[in-house]
Amino acid sequence: MKKKVTSASGFFRLRFLIVLFASLTGLFLLALGELVTANSFSDLAFQGSNGLTQKRGSSPTIELEQVVSGLTQPTTVTNAGDGSGRIFIVQETGEILILINGSVLPTPFLDISDLVSQDPERGLLGLAFHPDYAENGFFYVDYTDHVDGKTVVARYQVSAGDPNVADPDSAQIVLTQDQPGGDHNGGQLAFGPDGNLYISIGDGGCCGDPFQTGQDLETWLGKILRVDINSDDFPGDPNRNYAVPPDNPFVGGPGLDEIWAYGLRNPWRCSFDRTTGDFFIADVGQDTWEEVNFQPASSTGGENYGWSVLEGAHCYNNNPLCDDFLNGDSTLPILEYQHFPECSVTGGYRYRGQSYPDLVGIYFYADFCTGRIWGATQQVNGAWESQELLVAGFLISTFGEDETGELYVVEYNDDQSVLYRIVGTQGPTPTPTSSPTSTPSAIPTATPTPSSTPTATPSPTATATVTPTSTPRPTPTPRGAPIPRVRPTPHPRPSP
């Protein structure tokens, strides 16, 4: 079993070298005496260098409080929803750990490291607990198989004798998906408010959607799947143990029945708002744009998020369908930002905890390479606005949420990774607005010219703290107000 990793690997290896550039730019800015600041929800907006509408003024500030260190490449942090207060930490190497009262139990909850491949963007990537876990003990994992690298979604069950140890022999395959390129595996598992299991799968290739899967409705690659794990439509198939919800958007027509949404490159961390049921999908970009997509709780599915005709809300590779996609034939992201030194979005959660009222309604997300953490809120007119809350100074692989709605963030640092709790400080309380009943589709904006001012990336510390100053540095927030529209008719895959 692999226990020690000597270099950044797994899901993030392909982008790791960019961190060197980010570190150098951070040193440059620190030499100039620039302080990391939090920015605001005030009414003064301006255009930021990374392509998002940004805000100035006072705002909620956050700190990172260390919870536990010595972890190995965490990819998911979640809870069982069973009233136990336990936090479950998924390690890319194949183990699931339990954190209780600030300490990690010595025996893993589950260890399937002998089943898991990690090269190059592979590993144990996702974990979700059945909504009735307290009664049935079922939970679900998403990993890449060590034999051929395929994606495996499997169900396990807690052991009969110990609630802190799962039964490794209880595995039942839910579904599998071949991975032709070895990367862009997605790996998110999440139960929606409807009780169905949502599964993110990337496009299966390295660069530019080489297998043209993003717009192809005859493959699961580049999609969000939605399945009912309480029934079985395939009793004769040991590798398909689920049912297709009859209201999935492509049932009875062109496209595979399991598909819920499509046009995604590598959806890395998706989450449901525990209060509204809205669905946030962060999608890692190609060369230029990182994005966060939004699906309101009222959605009936079928959204096309544009890849590989679009990257973010911008034409990709001069695709001839681009104008149509920008003008109603796709659902545009609510948030996007440009590369350099940023490189790879890590999706998070909308804060619904009780400890910090000034954070309620804020959607947290980050950039993996620079450690910049942003918070976004939806305004009365439906537009999303975002501000930088903190530059953590380390690689951020995932966020987490506990049973009470408090949020966590992970420093990804091989076998010295650290879990932090996000702690709010005094500040004005933003007024979150309810989501519109139709899918917002943001108005495209021209690609801005990148600023020559690099982003600060301070050295990591056990507790990172935002230090407000009287002259805050610009921080990102999204584009203009979205306009409601009718869900588009799915397009077939474009010609190469």
Q: What is the pLDDT of residues 359-377, one digit of tens each?
A: 999 999 999 999 999 999 9
Statement: residue 468 has pLDDT above 60:
no
pTM of the entire predicted model? 0.80
Q: According to DSSP H, which parts of 32-182 are helical?
A: 133-136
Sorting pLDDT into bands at 50, 70 and 90, what band is 233? very high
* Domains in the chain: boundaries: 10-484
**What are 123-148's pLDDT values in tens digits?**
999 999 999 999 999 999 999 999 99
Of 327, 279, 277, the C-alpha closest to 306 is: 327
**What are 50-75's pLDDT values in tens digits?**
544 444 445 789 999 999 999 999 99
Statement: residue 464 has pLDDT above 70:
no
Q: Tell me, what's the pLDDT at 119?
A: 77
Sorting pLDDT into bands at 50, 70 and 90, what band is 379? very high
Structure tokens given for 183: 């990367």
Structure tokens given for 31: 């030499």
**What are 285-315's pLDDT values in tens digits?**
999 999 999 999 999 999 999 999 999 999 9
Lowest mean per-residue pLDDT among 46-60, 139-153, 320-334? 46-60
Name residues whose C-beta falls within 8 Å of residue 315's C-beta, 6 or more positions apart in sequence. Answer: 309, 322, 326
Say if CB 222 and CB 450 are below 8 A apart: no
Q: Tell me, what's the pLDDT at 488?
A: 37
Of 172, 178, 168, the C-alpha closest to 144 is: 178
Q: Tell me, what's the pLDDT at 484?
A: 37
Q: Tell me, what's the pLDDT at 426?
A: 57
Fold of 10-484: Neuraminidase (2.120.10)
Q: Write the secondary structure of 318-374 as one string of H (helix), E (strand) and C (coil).
A: CCCCHHHHHHHHCCCCCEEEECCCCCCEEEEEECCCCCCHHHCCCEEEEECCCCEEE
Q: β-strands 407-411, 396-401: how paired?
A: antiparallel
* Mean pLDDT of the 23-51 span: 36
Sorting pLDDT into bands at 50, 70 and 90, what band is 443? very low
**What are 171-228's pLDDT values in tens digits?**
999 999 999 988 899 999 999 999 999 999 999 988 999 999 999 999 999 999 999 9
380, with CB counted inside 10 A (0-12, 13-18, 19+), is exposed
Distance CA 137, CA 165 (A): 11
Looking at the chain, the whole-number percentage of residues with pLDDT higher than 70 is: 74
Sorting pLDDT into bands at 50, 70 and 90, what band is 118? confident
Sorting pLDDT into bands at 50, 70 and 90, what band is 3? very low
Question: Which contiguous run of DSSP H or E holds residue 389?
Answer: strand 384-391
**What are 391-439's pLDDT values in tens digits?**
999 999 999 999 999 999 999 999 999 999 999 985 434 444 333 333 3
The phi-psi region of residue 236 (left if phi > 0; otherwise alpha if psi is between -120 and 50; otherwise beta) is: alpha
Statement: residue 329 has pLDDT above 70:
yes
